[in-house]
Amino acid sequence: MKKILVTGALGQIGSELVVKMREIYGAENVVATDIRPHETDEYQPGPYEIVDVTDAKGMFEVAKKYQVDAIIHLAALLSATAEAKPLLAWNLNMGGLVNALEVARELRCQLFSPSSIGAFGPSTPKERTPQDTIQRPTTMYGVNKVAGELLCDYYYHKFGVDTRGVRFPGLISYVTPPGGGTTDYAVEIYYEAIRRGRYTSYIAEGTYLDMMYMPDALQAVISLMEADSSKLIHRNAFNVTAMSVAPEDIAAAIKRHIPEFELDFDVDPVRQEIAESWPDSLDTSAAKAEWGFQATYDLEKMTADMLAKLRSKMLEKVN
């Protein structure tokens, strides 16, 4: 990658990935785009463009203007929001991906598009879910992700577009607030631990889900995009994860830093049903073998860093 366009740059992943990529590739070589103006100087110096990913012509013109050779396509509605607005989710998630793929085909760009553990369903093996297995999701978000995986494979085999992607687990970050995902409890719990010393989880006790700290997620994107294409067999849907945890596991890790922290439960049936349709843990052997994936943060290391960074962030806001 030399010149990179990022869609959804103001979202949970994009807001951090743009910063990291600008440190690596140079600020002028990473074009941040989103559907709305950014409200701070977070992306300065460096180009920023307003792009609606459902506008194929607009996306193409921005990509051509900057002569990009890689597209990181992150713009999407997340799981819980997509379930509440399924038609909007289909139009945005699938329409935006088709447009990004067409731009990549016409300009001969690499394209990264993330899939998710949402691509799996209730009939998928839940323990050490294989890289290649049955995928019958029961949510619109999951349907979008399976269709997206297949579509990216199609563009690679049919048109030679260098498509790449991972199946992200729940992502935990101190930078961007939760944005409508089923696994967002794992972000909210840290905020509330510091603010109130307690948290009410909408996900039930004993519900295990895969998670990853954002620094590992960002490195996974960059490592995969820089990997030798000839060694990639799966290309568009690599299982990646760092830990499999339930709400009470995160609470226990927090209590080692905040002994008075308390966790209780008020289960949201919609998000609980989604969570129960997803794997408990993923087999990441394909990602490790084909491009050297390796997570560096476990639950304890992540918790210590999250609490420290959030305390600093909240202190800055007060001052």
Instruction: Examine the domain organization and report whether 70 and 101 are in the same domain.
Output: yes
DSSP per residue over 205-216, as a string? TT--EEEEEHHH
Instruction: Examine the domain organization and report whether 186 and 131 are in the same domain.
Output: no
Instruction: Examine the domain organization and report whether 30 and 123 are in the same domain.
Output: yes
Q: What is the mean pLDDT of residues 225-234?
A: 96
CB half-sphere exposure, 194, CA atoms < 13 A: 17
Residue 10 maps to a domain: yes
Instruction: Examine the domain organization and report whether 47 and 184 are in the same domain.
Output: no
pLDDT at residue 80 in the model: 79
pLDDT at residue 79 in the model: 79
Instruction: Examine the domain organization and report whether 140 and 189 are in the same domain.
Output: no
Domain range for 233 is 4-170+214-239
Listed in sequence order, the DSSP H helices in the chain are 14-25, 56-65, 79-84, 86-89, 95-107, 140-159, 185-195, 214-226, 247-255, 269-276, 285-291, 299-318
Q: At what angle do helices 95-107 and 56-65 cross, to 10 degrees?
A: 40
Residue 254 maps to a domain: yes
Instruction: Examine the domain organization and report whether 67 and 182 are in the same domain.
Output: no
Q: Domain containing 252 — which CATH number?
A: 3.90.25
Residue 250 maps to a domain: yes
- Choose, from 141, 155, 202, 208, the residue flagged as catalytic: 141
Instruction: Examine the domain organization and report whether 106 and 252 are in the same domain.
Output: no
Q: pLDDT (tens digit, 9 = 90+) per residue, 75-125?
A: 998 877 888 999 999 999 999 999 999 999 999 999 999 999 999 999 999
Instruction: Examine the domain organization and report whether 251 and 152 are in the same domain.
Output: no
How far, CA to CA in Å, does 118 sit from each of 6, 12, 31, 97, 178?
A: 22, 17, 28, 17, 17
CB half-sphere exposure, 105, CA atoms < 13 A: 17
Question: Any idea which residue has 């369903």 for tokens?
Answer: 121
Classify 162 as helix, strand or coil.
strand
Q: Is 141 a catalytic residue?
A: yes
pLDDT at residue 42 in the model: 56
Instruction: Examine the domain organization and report whether 12 and 49 are in the same domain.
Output: yes
Q: Which of 13-22, 34-43, 227-236, 237-246 has the lowest mean pLDDT?
A: 34-43
pLDDT at residue 27 in the model: 96
Q: At what angle do helices 214-226 and 14-25 cross, to 10 degrees?
A: 50
pLDDT at residue 193 in the model: 96
pLDDT at residue 319 is higher than 70: no
Residue 285 maps to a domain: no
Residue 188 maps to a domain: yes
Q: Which of 52-56, 175-179, 221-225, 259-263 has the lowest mean pLDDT?
A: 175-179
Instruction: Examine the domain organization and report whether 65 and 132 are in the same domain.
Output: yes
Instruction: Examine the domain organization and report whether 59 and 111 are in the same domain.
Output: yes
Report the number of distinct structural domains present in the chain.
2
Instruction: Examine the domain organization and report whether 136 and 275 are in the same domain.
Output: no
Residue 184 maps to a domain: yes
Q: Across the chain, what does the average pLDDT equal? A: 94
Residue 265's DSSP bridge partners are 201
- My answer on whether omega of the bond before 45 falls inside 30° of 0, hence cis, is yes
Residue 107 maps to a domain: yes
pLDDT at residue 40 in the model: 61
Q: pLDDT (tens digit, 9 = 90+) per residue, 241-272?
A: 999 999 999 999 999 999 999 999 999 998 99
Q: pLDDT (tens digit, 9 = 90+) per residue, 130-177?
A: 999 999 999 999 999 999 999 999 999 999 999 999 999 999 999 877
pLDDT at residue 35 in the model: 95
pLDDT at residue 318 is higher than 90: no
Looking at residue 125, the DSSP 8-state letter turns out to be -
Residue 291 maps to a domain: no
Q: Which of 221, 183, 4 is nearest to 78 (CA)?
A: 183
Q: Domain containing 43 — which CATH number?
A: 3.40.50.720
